[in-house]
Structure 1
């Protein structure tokens, strides 16, 4: 599992940032037409292959299967509709979101490639019904997930990274700290270097 996990909402960000050392990137498309989603996933698949980066498709597991993508991320609300048997048969790996212990138990029952926990810190990305989870929750989750990699998400910055990794997270997922940065490319490079340390 890569320590730095970039999450973006558009192929343009993937094309802009992946060449600067990003090896693990999620395409999380919201509120776009089916045609646009298909185009975005196809372009992202080809671009990431070319740059030897692992592409993760958020939610659209059926399109991921159809278009030959090999990694999917699902939120709790999407797990009920997903055909895990079909994904496994096609060799598609998947990561799952969790926010509380019931969700974690449910996620682990599917034997995911990784489990995500969030928001660790207050986040600007979307209104969450969960309070910030904090570093202690990361440590508790790490004990509970065992060998399954743990991804921390929500309000992360390079300055908070050491604490997140020390608490037990295997990977740091980043959205707004890069996408809303004054210089997203420089911030990406900063993240890549920080995660190497």
Structure 2
């Protein structure tokens, strides 16, 4: 499976409506705190928008709702992986991405036969408090040797200036959150990301 090199992560269908029409082809909907009814509305709206614009939608964490709503890709963190019904997820034909932060988590992830592995944080990140130190680009190269041919996603503190190094180290896709959502002009920044990652398509 080939992932688009530009992997946008947002926390609402409103962001998807705003940015996906610009040419985004891979987006994760990551909503941490919302009731089930609200989540279902967000997922349905996101799914419809992504279908309209030929964009791959990935649902973070909420695998049961993703199955019920007919989504085809879910991303799980390590804690969610421990409680998820992988047989049910696989039984639907759904694809699976997994987060990793250290060697133990990588072994756990590989045992689940994911469709991609994410490594982070590559650089310091403002998104959330992390108990892991920044991994650095050398860890990307190590992870790529371990996971190949499974695609590797780099995440954490990425910006346009860091992309060349991340891809040169072996990442197949670069995930971004705050460099776009906290930017003064998210639309312009999104277009820059699309242009900058075009050589790796």
TM-score range, shorter chain: over 0.9
Provide the rounded CA distance (Å) in 2 between the counterparts of 1:80 and 1:151. 21
Are residue 123 (structure 1) and residue 125 (structure 2) matched? yes
Number of residue pairs the alignment of both structures matches? 197
Does structure 1 residue 173 correspond to structure 2 residue 188? no
Alpha-carbon distance between aligned partners in 2 of 1:36 and 1:174, rounded to the nearest angstrom: 24
Measure how far apart 1:2 and its partner are.
0.6
Matches of 1:81 and 1:107 in 2, distance apart?
13
Alignment of 1:140-151 (within 5 A): 140-151=142-153
Poorly superposed stretches of 4+, deviation over 3 Å: none
CA distance in 2 between counterparts of 1:104 and 1:44 reads 30
Q: What's the offset of the Cα at 1:143? A: 0.5
Among 81, 84, 96, which residue is 1:82 paired with? 84
Secondary structure at 1:68 match in 2 = coil
Query: Aligned runs of 1:101-120 on 2, under 5 Å?
Result: 101-120=103-122
Counterparts of 2:113 and 2:23 in 1: how far apart (Å)?
Answer: 29
Deviations 1:16-74 (A, max 9, x none): 00001100000000111211111000111111111110000000000000000000000
Q: What whole-Å deviation, never above 9, does each CA across 1:130-160 have from its counterpart, x for those lacking one?
A: 0000000000000110200000000000110
- Equivalent residue, structure 2, for 1:94: 96
TM-score (structure 2 length as normaliser): 0.97
* Cα separation, 2, equivalents of 1:36 and 1:85: 27
Map 1:132-147; keep pairs closer than 5 Å.
132-147=134-149
2:83 partner SS: coil
* 1:80 aligned counterpart, secondary structure: helix
Q: Are positions 1:44 and 2:18 aligned together? A: no
Rounded Cα–Cα distance in structure 2 between residues aligned with 1:94 and 1:186: 30
Using the alignment, how far apart are the partners of 1:33 and 1:119 within structure 2?
A: 28
The alignment's TM-score, normalised by the length of structure 1, stands at 0.99
Counterpart Cα distance in 2 of 1:52 and 1:134? 33
Return the offset for 1:89.
Answer: 1.1
> 1:88 offset after TM fit, Å?
1.0
Q: Which moved more, 1:78-87 or 1:129-138?
A: 78-87
